Amino acid sequence: ITNFTNLLAALRELRVKDESLNKIVFDPKKTFLKIPHPSFHTDFLPQMKGLESFAESKLRSSKEILDGNQLYILSYEDLIKNKIAVGRSIDQEDINQLNKIKKKTDPSLGMGM
């Protein structure tokens, strides 16, 4: 519950409307949040199928700065593992696109730009 409380405080600081969030019955294993933005959405997930642990995924993540804020972005590999583990048919096209992007951007695969 501490993480959820901290998340709410951070969202308030970012001026995200949180009135409905205060009414959520928080379950640390099931409650997730999706915040829409004009060109993307942000997901806050308590766990992700197919991934070993947060610590392992964080080691493979990339650290990015967005508007002065440090973010950790899930690696392509971990995102693909998760989509495979979830097993939804809608994710198959995402997996195909992620693999194409990875091949174009990863010089170690011999197909770098």
Amino acid at 45: L
Alpha carbon distance 14, 24 (integer Å): 19
Three-state SS at 44: strand
In this structure, are 33 and 20 located in the same domain? yes
What average pLDDT does range 70-75 have in this prediction? 90
Regarding pTM above 0.85, the answer is no
What is the span of the domain harbouring residue 27? 1-47
Nearest Cα residue to 85 out of 47, 45, 50, 46: 50
Say yes or no to pLDDT of 97 above 50. yes
What average pLDDT does range 49-71 have in this prediction? 91
Q: How far is CA 22 from the centre of its chain?
A: 22
Token pair in block for residue 24: 């959520």
Residue 102's CB is within 10 A of a number of other CB atoms, namely 16
In this structure, are 39 and 63 located in the same domain? no
In this structure, are 102 and 88 located in the same domain? yes
Say yes or no to pLDDT of 14 above 90. no
Model confidence band, residue 62 (pLDDT cutoffs 50, 70, 90): very high
In this structure, are 70 and 28 located in the same domain? no
Token pair in block for residue 26: 């928080």
In this structure, are 42 and 53 located in the same domain? no
Number of folded domains that form the chain: 2
In this structure, are 61 and 30 located in the same domain? no
What percentage of the chain exceeds 70 in pLDDT? 87
